[in-house]
Amino acid sequence: MSAAMAAALALFSLLAAAWGLPPQLDPHFYDRSCPQAQQIVASIVGKVHYQDPRMAASLLRLHFHDCFVKGCDASILLDSSATIVSEKRSNPNRDSARGFEVIDEIKAALEAACPHTVSCADILALAARDSTVMTGGPGWIVPLGRRDSRGASVQGSNNDIPAPNNTLPTIITKFKLQGLDILDLVALLGSHTIGDSRCTSFRQRLYNRTGTGLPDLTLDASYAAALRPRCPRSGGDQNLFFLDPVTPFKFDNQYYKNLLAYRGLLSSDEVLLTASPATAELVKLYAADQDVFFQHFARSMVKMGNISPLTGGNGEIRANCRKVNRY
């Protein structure tokens, strides 16, 4: 950044504070207070990615599940305590959300390097970006300066995070409530190009989609047949399946190609093609042009990361991402 631009930004921040506007996130937030922060996050994400290739997907999802509940404030990381019912118990997270130990490891390294400085919410945002890059996806500059919540909302987690059997209008509404539009929805769901789903999240499609005892006809019949042995009518709830069986560990646009072949694993994936012409057009665009997908994905991740952050004097910098600080 040029000196003139930096001066203009500094002036803007001063004026914003004087006008009572909330402080904005800023990619340079830790430049002085913890210049090594981004390097520390990237090196630990890189190490765990090498040990467990699924972890990139899990970390990317954590940021999403954080931001959709009370904003990007690391509320998802809090364990239950005398005053807190953990979001880890909610339907979308129970037996499903993972990666908490990795965030602990990053936090411990950051506390050692720069005590009480880098928030858990910013760790989630950086780890999501680094996970995308490490699996072959686009990079982006992460605005920083989020602070951590002093509470959690298991109810918000149950209600605000879309479910895999929600209709497309319900999903669109849940995104809209977060300030995200149809383009953000279709681009961000491209995250399902990596990672796993449990049988329980899509079983209904294999046997009884409409309550009539028929499988979901928008799921390719041979793909459904291949899924049934390890996802029977009952039992095997926790069995894992790749969301993108063609390139499961590569962040690419294969997800959209799968949708065009009626091989989207979740109902919430396939409806992007089958339930609205507007979303279907975007699916076709991203299937045809990976560069456009990457550009839109990066932009929408920044937008998602900006959902209602705590800044300035709000919230706190937790010493341990699992607990609020004691005063």
Q: Could you tell me where the DSSP H helices lie in the chain? A: 3-18, 37-51, 55-67, 100-113, 120-134, 154-160, 168-176, 182-188, 203-207, 221-227, 254-260, 267-274, 277-288, 290-305
In the chain, the amino acid numbered 160 is D
Task: Tell me the residue number closest to ligand HEM, measured at CB.
Answer: 195
For ligand HEM, give the closer residue by CB, 106 or 186.
186
Instruction: Specify binding-site residues for heme b.
Output: 192
Our CB check for ligand HEM shows the closer of 38 and 191 to be 191
Which residue's CB is nearer to ligand HEM, number 37 or number 304?
304
What's the sign of the alpha-carbon dihedral 144, 76, 181, 183?
positive
**What does the buried/exposed string (b/e) look like for 174-189 if buried means 16 or more CB atoms within 10 Å of the residue's CB?**
bbeebebebbbbbbbb
Quote the CA–CA distance of 170 and 258 in Å, as a whole number.
23
Closer by beta carbon to ligand HEM, 157 or else 268:
268
Between 113 and 241, name the residue whose CB sits nearer to ligand HEM: 241
**Residue 65: active-site member:** yes
Q: Point out which residues bind ligand HEM (CB under 6 A).
A: 54, 57-58, 60-61, 64, 96, 98, 162-164, 171, 188-189, 191-192, 194-198, 201, 243, 266, 268
Residue of 290, 293, 241, 285 lying closest to 260 (CA atoms): 285
Query: Which residues sit in the known binding site for Ca(2+)?
Result: 66, 69, 71, 73, 75, 87, 193, 244, 247, 252
Min separation Cβ 2 and ligand HEM, Å: 33
* Closest distance to ligand HEM from the beta carbon of 93 (Å): 9
What secondary structure does DSSP assign to 281-321, as a single string? HHHHHHHH-HHHHHHHHHHHHHHHHTSS-B-TTSSB--SBT
Least Å distance, CB 162 to ligand HEM, is 4
Question: Minimum distance from CB of 183 to ligand HEM (Å)?
Answer: 13
Q: Six-digit token pair at 311?
A: 């800044």
Please state, in angstroms and rounded to a whole number, the distance separating the CA atoms of residues 188 and 64.
Answer: 9
Tokens found for residue 207: 């046997």
Retrieve residue 2's tokens. 């040029």
Smallest gap from Cβ 248 to ligand HEM, in A, equals: 9
CA–CA separation, 271 vs 220, rounded Å? 13
Please report which helix (H) or strand (E) contains residue 197, including its range. Answer: strand 196-198
Binding residues: 66, 69, 71, 73, 75, 87, 162, 192-193, 244, 247, 252
Least Cβ distance, residue 22 to ligand HEM (angstroms) = 24
Q: CA 250, 255, 260, 263 torsion: positive or negative?
A: positive
The closest of 297, 221, 208 to 255, measured between CA atoms, is: 297
> Annotated binding site for substrate, which residues?
162
| Catalytic-labelled residue, pool 49, 63, 65, 296 | 65
Q: Which is nearer to ligand HEM, 125 or 266 (CB)?
A: 266
Q: Which two tokens stand for residue 198?
A: 């449990």
- The catalytic residue positions are 65
